[in-house]
Structure 1
Amino acid sequence: MSEFIYKIVPRDLWQAAERAGHFDGAPVDHADGYIHFSTASQARETAAKHFAGIDDLLLVAVEPARLGDALKWEVSRGGALFPHLYAPLPLVDVARVEPLPLGPDGLHRFPDTVR
Structure 2
Amino acid sequence: MAIYKIFRAGEWAAFEAGGRFEGSADDLRDGFIHLSTGEQLEGSISRHFSGERGLVIAEIRAGDDPALRWEESRGGALFPHLYRPLLLADVASREVRS
Please state which band the TM-score falls in when normalised by the shorter chain: over 0.9
Which sections of structure 2, spanning at least 5 residues, go unmatched?
Answer: none
Please give the per-residue CA displacement for 1:58-112, whole angstroms capped at 9, x wherever unaligned. Answer: 001012306x1000000000000000000001111100111122xxxxxxxxxxx
* Equivalent of residue 18 in structure 2, options 17, 20, 30: 20
Q: CA deviation at 1:25?
A: 1.1
| Percent of aligned pairs with the same amino acid | 45
Q: Please state which structure has a larger fraction of its residues in strand.
A: 2
Q: SS where residue 63 of structure 2 aligns?
A: helix
RMSD over aligned Cα, in angstroms?
A: 1.0
Q: SS where residue 59 of structure 1 aligns?
A: strand
Give the distance between the partners of 1:64 and 1:57, measured in 2 at CA: 21
2:86 counterpart residue number: 89
Letter in 1 for 2:97: L
Which sections of structure 1, spanning at least 5 residues, go unmatched?
Answer: 102-115
* Equivalent of residue 30 in structure 2, options 32, 48, 53: 32
Give structure 1 regions of 4+ aligned residues with deviation exceeding 4 angstroms: none
Superposition TM-score, scaled by structure 2 size:
0.95
1:64-83 equivalences under 5 Å are: 64-65=62-63, 68-83=65-80
* Equivalent of residue 60 in structure 2, options 59, 62, 71: 62
* Equivalent of residue 9 in structure 1, options 7, 10, 15: 7
Aligned length: 98
Superposition TM-score, scaled by structure 1 size:
0.81
1:45 counterpart residue number: 43
Q: SS where residue 95 of structure 1 aligns?
A: strand
